[in-house]
């Protein structure tokens, strides 16, 4: 075996070891999945599939079931259905708002509001700018 082939073999072994560690980290999360996005893993583990390879089992039979029912449907009017039946308390199926997102009550204003506010004022953004360029 040449030095180049040995180096390639060692690299594959290191990569395989990293993949195995990532799979173990995800397997541990399957027992008690994190509730917050920032608590999910970084590094190689974030590329592993929760619950293993697709097609090995159904959602209800695997660890994915711990994430909640797969039949939850949120509607634009705020109602929520589980298994085709409307639930009494839709708030029970809503998560915490994403910080800075459109549902975050503490967010200043979302980018759409900022853009729309700029369209009316002709302050160099939005419609006012396009009209002046055309003129």
On whether the CB atoms of residues 109 and 99 are closer than 8 A, the answer is: no
User: Radius of gyration over alpha carbons of the chain, in Å?
Assistant: 24
Beta bridge partners of 74: 80
- pLDDT attached to residue 13: 81
Query: Tell me: the pLDDT tens digits for 95-111?
Result: 888 887 777 888 777 66
* Cα separation, 96 vs 119, whole angstroms: 31
pLDDT band at 89; cut points 50, 70, 90: very high
Share of the chain above pLDDT 70, in %: 70
Structure tokens that stand for 73 in this block: 């449907």
pLDDT band at 29; cut points 50, 70, 90: confident
Evaluate if residue 32 carries a pLDDT over 50. yes
The predicted model gives 28-45 an average pLDDT of: 80
- pLDDT attached to residue 54: 60
């Amino acid at each position: 075996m040449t030095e180049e082939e040995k180096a390639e073999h060692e690299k594959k072994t290191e990569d395989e070891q990293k993949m195995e560690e990532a799979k173990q980290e995800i397997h541990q999360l399957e027992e008690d999945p994190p509730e917050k996005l920032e608590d999910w893993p970084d590094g190689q583990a974030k590329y592993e599939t929760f619950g293993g390879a697709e097609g090995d089992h159904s959602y209800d039979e695997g660890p994915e079931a711990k994430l909640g029912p797969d039949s939850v449907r949120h509607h634009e009017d705020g109602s929520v259905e589980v298994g085709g039946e409307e639930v009494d308390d839709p708030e029970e199926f809503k998560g915490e708002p994403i910080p800075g997102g459109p549902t975050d009550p503490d967010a200043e204003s979302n980018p759409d509001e900022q853009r729309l506010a700029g369209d009316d004022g002709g302050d160099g953004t939005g419609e006012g700018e396009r009209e002046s360029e055309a003129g």
